[in-house]
Amino acid sequence: MIYEVIFTLGHNGDEEAIYRGCRGDVLIIDKLGTFYDPYFITLERIRGEFTSDRICYLWNKMVILHELTKENILKSIQELHDLQFYKSWKPLTEERVIEFYYPKDDWISYYVEVDDYK
Protein backbone atom coordinates (compact mmCIF):
# COMPACT_ATOMS: atom_id res chain seq x y z
CA MET A 1 0.00 0.00 0.00
CA ILE A 2 1.20 3.51 -0.77
CA TYR A 3 0.37 6.64 1.21
CA GLU A 4 0.82 10.15 -0.10
CA VAL A 5 2.30 12.46 2.53
CA ILE A 6 1.80 16.17 1.80
CA PHE A 7 3.62 19.05 3.45
CA THR A 8 1.01 21.72 2.75
CA LEU A 9 3.28 24.64 3.61
CA GLY A 10 6.08 23.28 1.49
CA HIS A 11 9.38 22.05 2.81
CA ASN A 12 12.41 24.31 3.01
CA GLY A 13 14.30 22.27 5.57
CA ASP A 14 13.49 21.13 9.06
CA GLU A 15 14.87 24.02 11.09
CA GLU A 16 11.58 25.79 11.82
CA ALA A 17 9.73 22.58 12.72
CA ILE A 18 12.60 21.47 14.98
CA TYR A 19 12.59 24.89 16.67
CA ARG A 20 8.81 24.93 17.17
CA GLY A 21 8.60 21.26 18.15
CA CYS A 22 5.32 20.73 16.34
CA ARG A 23 4.00 20.46 12.85
CA GLY A 24 0.32 20.52 11.90
CA ASP A 25 0.57 21.15 8.17
CA VAL A 26 1.02 17.53 7.08
CA LEU A 27 -1.68 15.49 5.39
CA ILE A 28 -1.73 11.73 4.82
CA ILE A 29 -3.80 10.38 1.94
CA ASP A 30 -4.60 6.68 1.67
CA LYS A 31 -5.26 4.63 -1.48
CA LEU A 32 -8.96 5.56 -1.37
CA GLY A 33 -8.16 9.28 -1.40
CA THR A 34 -9.09 9.74 2.26
CA PHE A 35 -7.32 12.66 3.96
CA TYR A 36 -5.96 12.51 7.52
CA ASP A 37 -4.35 15.40 9.38
CA PRO A 38 -1.92 14.20 12.05
CA TYR A 39 -0.32 16.59 14.50
CA PHE A 40 3.40 15.85 14.85
CA ILE A 41 4.97 16.98 18.11
CA THR A 42 8.10 16.34 20.16
CA LEU A 43 8.35 15.37 23.81
CA GLU A 44 10.14 18.65 24.49
CA ARG A 45 7.18 20.62 23.14
CA ILE A 46 4.76 18.62 25.28
CA ARG A 47 6.92 19.23 28.36
CA GLY A 48 6.77 22.95 27.62
CA GLU A 49 2.98 22.97 27.34
CA PHE A 50 2.19 20.36 29.98
CA THR A 51 3.03 22.49 32.98
CA SER A 52 2.35 21.57 36.60
CA ASP A 53 -0.83 23.67 36.61
CA ARG A 54 -2.44 21.36 34.02
CA ILE A 55 -4.11 18.12 34.94
CA CYS A 56 -3.77 16.52 31.49
CA TYR A 57 -2.58 17.15 27.96
CA LEU A 58 -4.60 16.05 24.96
CA TRP A 59 -4.35 16.72 21.27
CA ASN A 60 -6.34 14.85 18.67
CA LYS A 61 -4.30 12.79 16.18
CA MET A 62 -1.07 13.50 18.05
CA VAL A 63 2.04 11.70 16.83
CA ILE A 64 5.05 12.08 19.11
CA LEU A 65 8.48 12.02 17.48
CA HIS A 66 11.93 12.25 19.04
CA GLU A 67 12.99 14.78 16.40
CA LEU A 68 10.67 16.59 14.04
CA THR A 69 12.24 16.14 10.62
CA LYS A 70 10.78 15.34 7.22
CA GLU A 71 12.69 12.06 7.28
CA ASN A 72 11.22 11.03 10.65
CA ILE A 73 7.71 12.00 9.56
CA LEU A 74 8.03 9.86 6.43
CA LYS A 75 9.52 6.97 8.41
CA SER A 76 6.65 7.13 10.91
CA ILE A 77 4.07 6.27 8.25
CA GLN A 78 4.81 2.53 8.44
CA GLU A 79 4.35 2.52 12.21
CA LEU A 80 1.18 4.62 11.98
CA HIS A 81 -0.13 2.11 9.44
CA ASP A 82 0.82 -0.80 11.73
CA LEU A 83 -1.07 0.92 14.57
CA GLN A 84 -4.08 1.22 12.22
CA PHE A 85 -4.45 4.97 12.64
CA TYR A 86 -7.14 4.95 9.96
CA LYS A 87 -9.47 3.06 12.31
CA SER A 88 -9.34 5.61 15.11
CA TRP A 89 -8.73 8.93 13.37
CA LYS A 90 -11.70 10.68 11.84
CA PRO A 91 -10.80 11.58 8.25
CA LEU A 92 -11.08 15.11 6.94
CA THR A 93 -13.97 16.07 4.72
CA GLU A 94 -13.15 17.64 1.37
CA GLU A 95 -14.60 20.91 2.66
CA ARG A 96 -12.20 20.93 5.64
CA VAL A 97 -9.22 20.20 3.40
CA ILE A 98 -10.16 23.12 1.18
CA GLU A 99 -10.89 25.41 4.14
CA PHE A 100 -7.65 24.77 6.03
CA TYR A 101 -5.06 23.59 3.51
CA TYR A 102 -5.78 25.31 0.19
CA PRO A 103 -4.41 26.78 -2.02
CA LYS A 104 -2.28 23.85 -3.14
CA ASP A 105 0.52 26.03 -4.53
CA ASP A 106 3.02 25.16 -1.77
CA TRP A 107 2.09 21.49 -1.41
CA ILE A 108 5.01 19.07 -1.65
CA SER A 109 4.13 15.38 -1.88
CA TYR A 110 6.10 12.28 -0.99
CA TYR A 111 4.96 8.72 -1.51
CA VAL A 112 5.59 6.14 1.18
CA GLU A 113 5.11 2.46 0.51
CA VAL A 114 4.19 0.45 3.58
CA ASP A 115 4.25 -3.27 4.19
CA ASP A 116 0.71 -4.51 4.88
CA TYR A 117 1.97 -7.71 6.42
CA LYS A 118 4.10 -6.46 9.31
pLDDT at 1: 94
Residue 118 above 80 pLDDT? no
Tell me the per-residue pLDDT of 48-80, one tens digit each, with 9 for 90 and over: 888 888 898 888 899 999 999 999 999 999 999
Tell me the per-residue pLDDT of 72-106, one tens digit each, with 9 for 90 and over: 999 999 999 999 999 999 999 999 999 999 999 99
Q: Is 33 left (phi over 0), alpha (psi -120 to 50) or beta?
A: left
The whole-angstrom separation of Cα 80 and Cα 75 is: 9
Using H for helix, E for strand and C for coil, what is the string for 18-51? HHHCEECCEEEECCCCCEECCEEEEHHHHHHHCC
**What is the Cα Rg of the chain in Å?**
15
pTM of the model: 0.91
